Amino acid sequence: MLEEDMEVAIKVVVVGDGAVGKSSMIQRYCKGIFTKDYKKTIGVDFLERQLLVNDEDVRLMLWDTAGQEEFDAITKAYYRGAQACVLVFSTTDRQSFEAIGSWWEKVEIEVGDIPAVLVQNKIDLLDDTVIKNEEAEGLAKKLKLRFYRTSVKEDLNVNEVFKYLADKYLQRLKRQTAEEPEVVHTTSNKMGVFNTTSSNLSSQNSSNGREVISLRPNKQRTKKSKNPFGSCSLL
Ligand SMILES: Nc1nc2c(ncn2[C@@H]2O[C@H](COP(=O)(O)OP(=O)(O)OP(=O)(O)O)[C@@H](O)[C@H]2O)c(=O)[nH]1
Tell me, in angstroms, the distance from the centre of ligand 1 to residue 69's CA: 17
| Among 158, 177, 179, 176, residue whose Cα is nearest residue 228 | 158
Question: Which atom of ligand 1 is the closest one to the Cα of 66?
Answer: 25
Question: ipTM, 2 decimals?
Answer: 0.99
Please state, for a pLDDT cut of 70, what percent of the chain lies above it.
Answer: 73
- Give Cα separations from 61 to 76, 93, 142, 219 (angstroms): 17, 27, 28, 22
pTM of the complete model: 0.80
Residues 185, 27: Cα–Cα separation, whole Å = 29
Please say if the pLDDT value at position 207 is more than 90: no
pLDDT tens by residue, 84-126:
999 999 999 999 999 999 999 999 999 999 999 999 999 999 9
Q: CA-based angle 80:21:75, to the nearest 5?
A: 25
The protein residue with its alpha carbon nearest to ligand 1, atom 13, reads 21
To the nearest 10 degrees (0 to 180), the angle between helices 100-111 and 133-143 is: 20
Is 184:215 a contact under the CB 8 Å cutoff? yes
C-beta of 99 in contact with ligand 1 (< 6 A): no
Is 191:173 a contact under the CB 8 Å cutoff? yes
Q: Identify the pLDDT of residue 72.
A: 77
| One-letter amino acid of 65 | T
Length of the chain: 235
Please say if the pLDDT value at position 145 is more than 90: yes
Tell me, in angstroms, the distance from the centre of ligand 1 to residue 66's CA: 12
